[in-house]
Amino acid sequence: MSDILALTAADAAEEIAMGRLSAEELFAAYRSRALADRDAGEAGLNCFTWVAESTPAPAPARPLAGVPLAVKDLFCTEGVPSQAGSRILEGYLPPYTATVVRSLADAGAPLLAKTNQDEFAMGSSTENSAYGPVRNPWDRGRVPGGSSGGSAAAVAAGLAPWALGTDTGGSIRQPAALCGIVGLKPTYGSVSRYGMIAFASSLDQAGPITRNVRDAALLLAHMVGHDPCDATSIQFPERVTLPHAERLDGIKLGVPAELSQDGIAPGVQRAFASALARAEELGAERHDVALPHAPHALSAYYVLAPAECSSNLARYDGVRYGMRAQDAEDLLSMYTRTRHDGFGPEVKRRVMLGTYALSSGYYDAYYGRAQRVRTKIAEDFRAAFEQVDFILTPTAPTIAFLLGEKTGDPLAMYLNDYCTVPMSLAGVPAISIPCGLSDGLPVGLQIAGPAFSENRLLEAAHALEMAFEFDGAPARV
């Protein structure tokens, strides 16, 4: 079994296609591991909120060959609990499946499990889940990052071959960095959001969380495309291909001082500097670029995202679906008690911030100004990409921090998104790959490119991944 679980998703798909491995055997092996973690209580990682009840029947040959998929809890899956890490949706069974999950199932990736997450994707540590925190497989006393921490920890620990996450301000890339794996945020609009339980609609984007870059490309190839159910989705302009590059000859890499110096931990800076040196050895040219408005990205994000969340979460009123407060005296008290009991403290904090920012008299001062900053940030990226092919930064300013270390200080928690938020506001694709260790814990390298440059981005990431001397395997659980 250990040999089977050591296979990357792409290699497992090839073994199944060649008849050397059965899809049923692979699914059963991962299901057994997922169940063991779910049933381990405090001794486990707490990656999963639901695990498939049985191994699916054999299916016709398909591109993904039956390699099982773990899916973040906020993707609607028909007849399967889809709770977005919240008590207010506890036990909710959607009558439909999210487009991206359905597309991957049609391509041959059956649903293995639903993964734990920060409530409604609001968090950077997966400590905000109503179903308990997720633990980092490198060190169980530390966070896996968030909000897609369950997906990242499951892939890093070998409990799933690959997983779906969502990225609003860094929620794929940051946990991938803290868990020593690969996480890709695609260009906004390239993957359908239909069936994703919304946090901030102009920022949310689904993406792959995988062991290596090749697996990320394989999964992305079957995720992208226009969806008539999602008015923000766009037809991807080219076919996503598997990367093979081993060199970076002629590639211009931009390094913005605004995202690579102040606030970055010394160990992360050393790993980043080493990664840049290795990129130059592979033939890349390093250039300094300016993103002058990037230091304002976090402030703008924490106006825009809460504003959108306050609108999206207004639908949870106890009337149509989800939790309803019992024995309420009237309609207003039912609304109030349902939201009081159903939402966690971080969700309440962001709803209140967003409602305030959108209120009469403050809209232009806060929300309108944040939108103007967002436009400036997008312009900065466009100008930078006229000079260079890609922009490189650390993915996260620190390595994985201790459980509970930042829960009492929301501002310190928000700073974990400092390097990832600018790309989200600009809508451009970005990938995090492991580039070394600091104090025995993984450090992530973030590579961002222009809109719809995923193929070139994956090629560059693959070349760097092949060159790094990095053991991406934490202690298996």
**Known catalytic residues?**
72, 147, 171
What's the full length of the chain, in residues? Answer: 477
For residue 400, give every residue at least 6 positions away whose Cβ sits within 8 Å of its Cβ, in sequence order, or none: 136, 138, 139, 142, 143, 144, 145, 178, 179, 441, 442
Cα–Cα distance measured from residue 458 to residue 452, given in angstroms and rounded to the nearest whole number: 11
Count of alpha carbons within 13 angstroms of residue 106, beta-carbon side: 10
Q: What is each CA distance from 140 to 8, 134, 135, 397, in whole angstroms?
A: 24, 9, 5, 20
Q: Three-state DSSP class for 16?
A: helix
Q: Three-state DSSP class for 436?
A: strand
The pair of structure tokens assigned to 220 is 């992305």
User: What type of residue sits at position 50?
Assistant: W
- Which residues sit opposite 164 in a β-bridge? 71, 208
Cα–Cα distance measured from residue 87 to residue 324, given in angstroms and rounded to the nearest whole number: 11
By the 8 A CB rule, do 141 and 176 touch?
Answer: no
By the 8 A CB rule, do 420 and 397 touch?
Answer: no
Give the relative orientation of helices 345-358 and 297-312 as an angle to the nearest 10 degrees: 100
Cα–Cα distance measured from residue 45 to residue 477, given in angstroms and rounded to the nearest whole number: 8
Cα–Cα distance measured from residue 229 to residue 268, given in angstroms and rounded to the nearest whole number: 41
Instruction: Render 23-83 in DSSP notation, one character per residue.
Output: HHHHHHHHHHHHHHHHTTGGGS---EEEE-SSPPPP----TTTT--EEEETTB-BTTB---
By the 8 A CB rule, do 447 and 457 touch?
Answer: yes
